[in-house]
Structure 1
Amino acid sequence: MTVPLSILDLAQIGDGEHARDSFRASVEMARAAERQGYQRIWYAEHHNMPSIASSATSVLIAHIAANTESIRLGSGGVMLPNHAPLTIAEQFGTLAELHPGRIDLGLGRAPGSDQQTMRALRRDPSSADSFPQDVLELQGYLTGPTRVAGIEATPGKGTNVPLYILGSSLFGAKLAAMLGLPYAFASHFAPNALDDAIAIYRREFRPSAQLAEPYVIAAVNVIAADTEDEAQALFTATQRKRVQLFVGRGRTFTPEETDLVLTSPAGQQVLQMLRYTAVGTAQQVRDYLDTFTARTGADELMVVSSATDRSAWLRSLELVAEVSDLASPAPSPQVP
Structure 2
Amino acid sequence: MVQFSVLELVPVREGGTVSEALAASVNLARKAEELGCRRFWVAEHHAMEGIAGGATSVVLAHIGNATSRIRIGSGGIMLPNHTPFQIAEQFGTLDALFPGRIDLGLGRAPGAGPQLQRALRKDLHQASEYFPQDVLELRALLTGDVELPITATPGLGSNVEMWMLGSSLFGASLAAKLGMPYAFAAHFAPDHLDAALELYRRDFQPSAALERPHVMVAMNVFAAKTDQAAQLLASSQQQSFVALRSGNPGKLPPPVAGYTADLPAPTRAMLDHLSQAAAVGNPQKVRADIEAFIRRTRADEIILCGSTYDSQARESSLELTIDACRAVAV
Compared CA separation, residues 8 and 201, structure 1 to 2 (3 A): same
- Partners of 2:219 and 2:206 in 1: how far apart? 27
Q: Residue 295 of structure 1 corresponds to which residue in structure 2?
A: 296
Per-residue deviation, 1:147: 4.2
- Partners of 1:295 and 1:319 in 2: how far apart? 23
- Partners of 1:250 and 1:64 in 2: how far apart? 26
Structure 1 alignment gaps of length 5 or more: 328-336
Compared CA separation, residues 130 and 72, structure 1 to 2 (3 A): same
- Partners of 2:268 and 2:5 in 1: how far apart? 29
Per-residue deviation, 1:140: 0.5
Q: Residue 129 of structure 2 corresponds to which residue in structure 1?
A: 129
Matches within 5 A, 1:191-210: 191-210=190-209
- Partners of 1:243 and 1:302 in 2: how far apart? 22
Per-residue deviation, 1:274: 3.8
Matches within 5 A, 1:176-255: 176-247=175-246, 249=248
Find out whether 1:59 has 2:58 as its counterpart.
yes
Q: Residue 44 of structure 1 corresponds to which residue in structure 2?
A: 43
* One-letter amino acid of the counterpart of residue 320, structure 1: T
- Partners of 1:251 and 1:43 in 2: how far apart? 19
Matches within 5 A, 1:1-336: 2-124=1-123, 125-149=125-149, 151-247=150-246, 249=248, 259=260, 262-325=263-326
Deviates more, 1:76-85 or 1:114-123: 114-123
3-state SS of the aligned residue for 1:120? helix
3-state SS of the aligned residue for 1:15? coil
Compared CA separation, residues 31 and 259, structure 1 to 2 (3 A): closer
Per-residue deviation, 1:251: 9.5
Compared CA separation, residues 203 and 251, structure 1 to 2 (3 A): closer
Indicate conservation of the 8 Å contact 1:286/1:323, yes or no. Answer: yes
3-state SS of the aligned residue for 1:275? helix
3-state SS of the aligned residue for 1:93? helix
Compared CA separation, residues 192 and 120, structure 1 to 2 (3 A): same
Deviates more, 1:264-273 or 1:151-160: 264-273
Indicate conservation of the 8 Å contact 1:222/1:306, yes or no. Answer: no
Q: Quote the RMSD (CA, aligned, Å).
A: 2.3
- Partners of 1:131 and 1:49 in 2: how far apart? 24
Compared CA separation, residues 82 and 248, structure 1 to 2 (3 A): closer
Compared CA separation, residues 258 and 287, structure 1 to 2 (3 A): closer
Compared CA separation, residues 23 and 263, structure 1 to 2 (3 A): same
Per-residue deviation, 1:309: 2.8
- Partners of 2:216 and 2:260 in 1: how far apart? 33
Per-residue deviation, 1:237: 4.1
Q: Residue 332 of structure 1 corresponds to which residue in structure 2?
A: none
3-state SS of the aligned residue for 2:209? coil
Indicate conservation of the 8 Å contact 1:78/1:106, yes or no. Answer: yes
3-state SS of the aligned residue for 2:46? coil
Q: Deviations over 1:182-229 (max 9, x none)?
A: 000000000000000000000000000000000000000001001122
* One-letter amino acid of the counterpart of residue 87, structure 1: Q
- Partners of 2:15 and 2:137 in 1: how far apart? 42
Compared CA separation, residues 38 and 50, structure 1 to 2 (3 A): same
Per-residue deviation, 1:10: 1.1
Indicate conservation of the 8 Å contact 2:10/2:25, yes or no. Answer: yes
Aligned residues: 325
Indicate conservation of the 8 Å contact 1:46/1:113, yes or no. Answer: no
- Partners of 2:74 and 2:313 in 1: how far apart? 24
3-state SS of the aligned residue for 2:273? helix
Compared CA separation, residues 32 and 251, structure 1 to 2 (3 A): closer
Q: Deviations over 1:83-141 (max 9, x none)?
A: 11011000000000110000000000111433421232122121101100000000001
* One-letter amino acid of the counterpart of residue 313, structure 1: R
Indicate conservation of the 8 Å contact 2:50/2:249, yes or no. Answer: no
- Partners of 1:17 and 1:185 in 2: how far apart? 30
Normalised to the residue count of structure 2, the TM-score between the two structures is 0.92
* One-letter amino acid of the counterpart of residue 109, structure 2: A
Normalised to the residue count of structure 1, the TM-score between the two structures is 0.91
- Partners of 1:13 and 1:205 in 2: how far apart? 39
